[in-house]
Amino acid sequence: MRSRPLFPTDGKKQRISFRHLLAFTCNPSYSRFMHSLRQIFALLFVWGIGLACAGAADKIRVSSFSTVLTEIAQKIGGDRVEVTGHIKPGIDPHEFEPKASDIRTVTNADLVLLSAKHMEGYVAKLKDSIGTKGHVVEVGDQKMQSLKLVDRSEHEVEDPHWWHSPRNLIIATKVVRDELTKISPADKALFAANATAYINRLEVLDDWVRAKVSELPRDKRKLVTNHDAFGYFARDYGFTVMPISGVAKNDQPGSKNVAELIAKIKASGVKAVFSEDVANPKVVQEITRETGAKFGGELLSDGLGTGEAATVEGMFKHNVKTIVDALK
């Protein structure tokens, strides 16, 4: 038996009227049609929920407290990780304190990545929150040599700014690769391939930095910046750092220190001094006024920035171009 058409037509082009709609909803084909539609929607809904749950449960949850480690975890983990970057570009990691929402996320993480070398004063609090569930990895403390610097109370402390050395970034990449592999051994080959590709890029970056820095004679490689963040960079590329203040950007240099630095800059003929993305540039202005050195530009000292400096590669290129071009 042929069922009646849903919309009765006499072959002519017609507009759908109220009469048509009434006929349509009273037609037995309509109820069969709606029943099938409901079944399809129910199936799609269950399938969608299933996929979403499987996807979320399957992924390795990573909490990162460094913009640089956020990039590394994303590059190595690819689609297999869901990375929460608790420190965003522009946030001063020396002053950062985790909020209740950060702690909640950390509690559900499989892996927590920290810069370490005493950057995070809240590490004990994080370890307490996570308990035995996830794994806290203090990346900067793994197989990475520490340089020293002088803090605001004139004490020698570990320099936490290890990411200004591609050599250290390669160590960090291997640490993250190994930690992800421990959590998901089935993805070992994927993490290894991603790490190799990323390390290759870091090696190319290191070559680029060396070539760019070679434009600058050794006696001109003197770096005057707001805070003492470029020790590892200086070690790798033959610079001498002349910091205006200590470990953190909010450190205020004493007037005696500023006077000494001004004398050093005048004596060594440094052409430019630099400021940083979130630092107070007042002291830099005073130094340029007193010494005749020019303001060389802003450097990214405490992690990734935005725009062209939103990646490790971009951050390096921005810093190195700014330094070399101003000191030439």
Kindly list the residues in this chain that would bind Zn ion in the complex (CB under 5 A): 229, 302
Residue 64 vs 115, nearer CB to Zn ion? 115
Distance CA 317, CA 22 (A): 69
Q: What are phi and psi of 208, to 5 degrees?
A: -65, -45
- CB-based contact 173:199 (threshold 8 Å): yes
Least Cα distance to 114 among 137, 133, 83 occurs for: 137
- The β-bridge relationship of strands 294-299 and 156-158 is unpaired
Is the separation of the CB atoms in 140 and 160 below 8 Å? yes
Q: Which is nearer to Zn ion, 229 or 284 (CB)?
A: 229
Structure tokens at 114: 């920290």
Is 249:227 a contact under the CB 8 Å cutoff? yes
Q: Smaller CB distance to Zn ion: residue 111 or 172? A: 172
Q: What is the smallest separation between the CB atom of 159 and Zn ion, expressed in angstroms?
A: 9
Residue number with CB closer to Zn ion (182 or 282): 282
Residue 13 CA to its chain's centroid (Å): 61
Q: Closer CB to Zn ion, residue 181 or residue 245?
A: 245
CA nearest neighbour of 195 among 183, 207, 179, 209? 179
Q: Which is nearer to Zn ion, 172 or 229 (CB)?
A: 229
**CB of 163 vs Zn ion, minimal distance in Å:** 10
- CB of 275 vs Zn ion, minimal distance in Å: 13
Contacts 24+ apart (CB under 8 A), 54-59: 56/82
Nearer to Zn ion by C-beta: 206 or 302? Answer: 302
Shortest spacing between CB 269 and Zn ion, in angstroms: 27
Q: How far apart are CA 102 and CA 154, in angstroms?
A: 32
Please give the C-alpha separations between residue 197 and each of 129, 296, 324, in angstroms, as whole numbers.
34, 34, 28
| Residue 295: CA count within 13 A, CB half-sphere | 14
